[in-house]
Amino acid sequence: MPTENELFDAVDALLEQVAQDDLPDPAERKRLREAAGLSQAQIAAALNARREAVGNWEAGRTEPRPPKRAAYARLLEGLAARFPAPAAESATEVRTAPETFTGRNTPAAAPPTDQPRSRPARAAPPQPADVAPLTSRRPAAKRATPKPAPATQAADPRFAHGPLAVIDVTEGEVSAYCLGGLVLDVPAKSLPALVEWTLTEAKLGAPRLHRSGKDADPVLVLTDAAAERYGLPVRLSDDERRAGRLPENHQILKQLDKANWQLTRRGFGPWARIYRPAQGSKRSCVQLCILGWNALDERSWGHAAHLPAPELANLLGTYAHRVMTPRGSTAVTGLELMTALHPPTRASDPDETGKRHREHNPGSLGTEPVDCAPPEAPDGHPLLAHLPRFHQRTPDEVLVEEAYDWARPLTDDECTQRFVVGIDVNMAFAAAANGTVVGLGAPVHVKQPVFDPKLPGSWLVDLSHIELDPRLPSPFTPTGERPMGPAWYATPTVAYAVELGHEVTPIEAYVRPDNGRYLDGWYNRLRDAYIATMADLGITTSMSPEEFLAAMDGHKQNDPQMAIVLTAIKATIKGGIGKLRERPRGGGWRPGQSWPALGRPTWRPDIRAAVISKARINMHRKMLKTAQATGRYPVAVLSDCAVYAADGPSPLDFLPYKDGKPLPGGFRLGVSPGMVKHEGTQTILWAEGAREEHGHDLNIARYIKDGNVATTKDTGE
């Protein structure tokens, strides 16, 4: 008689055969994974597969093979039982954008009878995720062919009209322009009524990014005309701009208070949040984005604030779909994305009465802030209040993990070359965040510890005995100079010294035993957004180096509005990392006093230090590999940009490729995060002339893109 295990094996074999054609469609696979709050990396680890393979299964490019197929089918079946797809929504009454807008429309549907205020419907609403391509306002432009929308958003009737709307006034009529060309009538006559309409009729918002998280609140973007229509100043006064909000006695605040609406502590500013206390799990909150108050900073959003309302709705909707609904500046959104993907709490298992309770969500930062270690504290932090005024902390007192700012004189051989060529690492900080183990809890102080490369923390160690080639910047300092004695370093920096074959003996450390790969999901989300946006600009991952360089030449002109989305995604990455160590803002603060950011669980300078440390180490590792293989050394490095002397103007004139393949571990041309693109090329004469005119400490990597050297002193800001 067969044993029980043998019978199970036989059943599993049958299930495997059945599973050959029993997989849901690719969009449903992705919906189920996201509904469960799982990353592609987690599924890949469970199935002993590569993360890229899981991504291909969800995109429909490939199909899993036995025995992984049966296991994948079983996983999806279990997820489908727990997260069934909601019923599809019936068509709701809308208008379409003017003919000059090239947004996507769907066939007309009969108007419902329960909305007498709306105009006759001319089109059924497209799915929120069905993002129309961002194009210029050309009347003769053809409408794009719709792409299939992910089931996660398409199936949710609560957010049928997308994550946000741009409110504008044309010929006295107020309209809400939504993602994909939708236009809704706005009957509200006052700002409190507009908020009420948004929550009860507009069907705006976005589903949560994690099953334990919260749905995104709807965002209303107010043009100048809309702001004036609802009683708001088109521009803030000088005093209001300095305060960042309207005064508390403003008439609009009185209207909101009378209607029982509340504001968050930051008041009524460019990104105002208007809410009522939640009733159970139901939230009542609307966020305003006021264009005339510089809500869309030109450094992150270019000229987006000046676009026509339909095009701005499509641009912001694309960003919201690929990244998340904006929560403020791109920096604020980058930080909020971390929390949205790793909520601090989750629902517990039912207790004996069947009731669930909130509990800590493993892998998150929790709900309470934790103190940083003294060397991790920036100047002015309350932990440093005991230090004398104007005290300058030395490397053995403060952790300084920053990006590179280093340059050296050209050698005689390099001066015989014709050009200096800059290459730039794609999404350098996001790529560094991927896979980095960071602390989740408070630091633990240890004297004379044994270094553990798997333990995140800050280490006081002397690395001054390590001697490296002076033609390369030191990997241990942002300036590239050799350390002079004991100094504080993040774990990736010390681990790299061990990787290079050197002995390290820490004097003391602040380590975090509670740790995890907190930023992996954040990286995956932003990587996918970046790759998708670059594909819209004509740059794909399948290109050869030559094709990539050719396509990158002027790629932003292919679709200027999608180029704005790309800039915003990059700003979200850098700003999100920077927000982990937000400094005091505004007047009235004094060194030694606390500031609002310290009250956030996401105020974590140690996480920022670990990411920047790893990004700098990644740069050094690639430069070292290139030097060992070719004998070429960088002449300047600025953050994620390295400049080399070369005989030709292209990166291919100095990057090592053998049989069309890049050097393993070195720089590689391509669009993916961690790969490099061409930053700019200038002549050797330009480089030497700039150094002669502006000083030999000038970092030419700062100006390699356009060759325009500022006349002011190079401060590194």
pLDDT at 370: 93
- Decide if 636 contacts 404 (C-beta within 8 A): no
Q: Scanning the structure block, which residue is given the tokens 């929120």?
A: 128
Question: 13 with 112, same domain?
Answer: no
| 432 φ, ψ (degrees, to nearest 5) | -70, -35
Q: Which domain holds residue 479?
A: 374-401+437-516
Domain membership of residue 644 (yes or no) is no
Question: 70 with 165, same domain?
Answer: no
Query: Which of residues 474, 497, 516 is at a domain's end?
Result: 516
pLDDT tens digit sequence for 264-318: 988 999 999 999 987 766 789 999 999 999 999 999 999 999 999 999 999 999 9
pLDDT at 390: 85
pLDDT at 123: 37
- Decide if 392 contacts 380 (C-beta within 8 A): no
Domain membership of residue 76 (yes or no) is yes
Question: 279 with 201, same domain?
Answer: yes
Q: Which one, of 602, 564, 550, 553, lies nearest residue 581 by Cα?
A: 602
pLDDT at 295: 96
Domain membership of residue 44 (yes or no) is yes
HEC secondary structure over 393-456: CCCCCCECCCCCEEECCCCHHHHCCCEEEEEEECCHHHHHHCCCCEECCCCEEEECCCCCCCCC
Domain membership of residue 657 (yes or no) is no
Query: Which of residues 516, 548, 571 is at a domain's end?
Result: 516
Two tokens, residue 333: 């959104």
Query: Which of residues 291, 326, 361 is at a domain's end?
Result: 326
Question: 125 with 167, same domain?
Answer: yes
Domain membership of residue 539 (yes or no) is no
CATH of the domain at 30: 1.10.260
**Torsion sign over Cα 171, 176, 178, 182:** negative
Question: 124 with 266, same domain?
Answer: yes
Question: 242 with 189, same domain?
Answer: yes
Two tokens, residue 43: 């599924």
Question: 482 with 394, same domain?
Answer: yes
Q: What does 694-707 look like in DSSP terms, one character per residue?
A: H-TT--GGGTTTT-
CA distance to 242, 385, 386, 582, 594, per residue, from 591 (Å) = 21, 7, 11, 15, 8
Length of the chain: 717
Question: 160 with 306, same domain?
Answer: yes
pLDDT at 647: 95
CB proximity list for 460: less than 8 A, separation 6 or greater: 375, 396, 486, 487, 488, 506, 507, 508, 509
Domain membership of residue 543 (yes or no) is no
Question: 99 with 52, same domain?
Answer: no
Q: Scanning the structure block, which residue is given the tokens 């210029």?
A: 136
Domain membership of residue 453 (yes or no) is yes
- Domains in the chain: how many in total? 3
Count other Cβ atoms within 10 Å, centred on residue 683: 14
Question: 72 with 191, same domain?
Answer: no
CB proximity list for 174: less than 8 A, separation 6 or greater: 167, 168, 185, 186, 187, 188, 226, 229
Stretches where the chain sits below pLDDT 50 are 16, 18-21, 88-93, 98-154, 711-717
Query: Residue 343 CA to chain centroid, in angstroms?
Result: 16
pLDDT at 5: 57
Two tokens, residue 603: 């105020």
Question: 237 with 286, same domain?
Answer: yes
Domain membership of residue 603 (yes or no) is no
Question: 15 with 119, same domain?
Answer: no
Q: One-letter amino acid identity for 340?
A: A
Two tokens, residue 316: 């912001």
| 637 φ, ψ (degrees, to nearest 5) | -140, 130
pLDDT at 684: 95
